[in-house]
Amino acid sequence: MIRPILKYGEGVLHEKARTVDALTPEIDRLVDDMIETMYAAPGIGLAAPQVGEPVRIFVADISVGRDPNGLIVLINPEFVERDGMQLEEEGCLSVPGFNATVVRPSRAVIKGLDRLGTEQRHEATGLLARAFQHEMDHLDGTLFVDRLRGIKRDLIVRKIRKLTRAGKW
């Protein structure tokens, strides 16, 4: 089932998500819904808080469904290592219509459980490393806008407030 994606300003997006205690049929259904929602958006990643579920799960696929092995599902993910630096433009399904350049490490090693409860470890560089870090931010209540400083952040937040007041956000 495709779920509505929450937008910047909605409470659960700005709170730290809780650990998944057990892999239940409800968690499995949530993962299915997240995958379907991410592909329908279309996006390359989606975290559970973006669909209103404050739990530590994200899905990512930088091939946007073109590579059958591209889909990564991580439950209770944690960073193992991060290093380097990349400066690239980033957007977010929860901040539609806005992009900005965000500084992030260029390499990330992450571990977490797959849907079956098996520990997985992924090493990523470039776009996939960025996607992992972006989704991990969501699990900690941070959106890419929160990583911006100065006038760029102020402009985006002001435009969102204006859209909200006009009932268009």
List residues with catalytic annotation: 135
Closest among 115, 25, 104, 43 to 72, alpha carbons compared? 115
Which DSSP state fits 8? Answer: T
DSSP-assigned states of every residue in 94-140: TSTT-EEEEEE-SEEEEEEE-TTS-EEEEEEEHHHHHHHHHHHHHHT
Closest among 70, 65, 74, 61 to 118, alpha carbons compared? 74
Closest among 140, 103, 112, 107 to 123, alpha carbons compared? 107
